[in-house]
Amino acid sequence: MKIATYNVNGINGRLSVLMRWLEEDAPDIVCLQELKSPNDRFPRAELERAGYGAVWHGQKSWNGVAILAKGVVPLLTRRGLPGDPDDAHARYIEAAIDGMLVGCLYLPNGNPAPGAKFDYKLRWFQRLKTYGAELIALDIPALLVGDYNVMPTDLDVYAPERWRDDALFHPEVRKAYADLVAQGWTDAIRHMHPNERIYTFWKYWRNSFERDAGLRIDHLLLSPIVASWLTSASVRRRPRSWDHTSDHAPVMIEIEPPTD
């Protein structure tokens, strides 16, 4: 089974890129971020024609998350991260698929730091840690997948010295990510590639992709049960080289769940 995450940076404007990648890599489950689309403009019909059912949590011009599943409609279990009923940002959606609970998230950017946006990011991260601990305690097959807007270590950024004060690399944010993982989650890419520089995002300017001046900010965290099924994890770099593409590349894992 193939499970992927992809920040599409505008689903309607880059729908042809998404469709091309879905046909090329044929993932079974996909978590999408930064839809930048209200709910009524989500391209449900186009995705269904491509063979994917979907649930989504949209927002005009900003944010937005969705979960796709090949051949089935995911069973929606949650829209919105618990812990703040006044948070109107479309940043979390969750569904049950093939006996697994899949949480798709788009964590706040947080810049500039310090500031109100950075404080919101830390509060959102705290809510995620609280909910993540609840999922781990359930001892079920679960995944927390998406754009975390965090480079966990120096290995995850092309020039660490330039990012020390950025909200994506701030010590408080990296500690929050480390604390989340320490609950029992497995960072799939880092688990399979412990010493490699691997990036998932490259800015559009200064030939960042061509120079491989990137960041690893898109992560798949697996509960212990799912981690035991993990067979591969990779960044699918080809779509980042296509015309009119996202500044992120898809990240995909392969798992082998037991047949029962």
Give, as one character, the DSSP assignment of residue 241: G
- What is the distance between the alpha carbons of residues 22 and 235, in angstroms, rounded to a whole number? 14
Helix ranges (H only) for 41-140 are 44-49, 116-138
Total length of the chain: 260
The residues that bridge with 254 in the sheet, in sequence order, are 2, 232
Report cis status (omega within 30 of 0) of the bond before 114: yes
Give, as one character, the DSSP assignment of residue 115: S
| Residue 87 host element (H or E) | none
- What is the distance between the alpha carbons of residues 143 and 96, in angstroms, rounded to a whole number? 10
- What is the distance between the alpha carbons of residues 126 and 19, in angstroms, rounded to a whole number? 35
**Other residues' Cβ atoms within 10 Å of the Cβ of residue 152:** 21
Q: What residues act catalytically? A: 106, 147
Alpha-carbon 211 to chain mean position: 24
Give, as one character, the DSSP assignment of residue 247: S
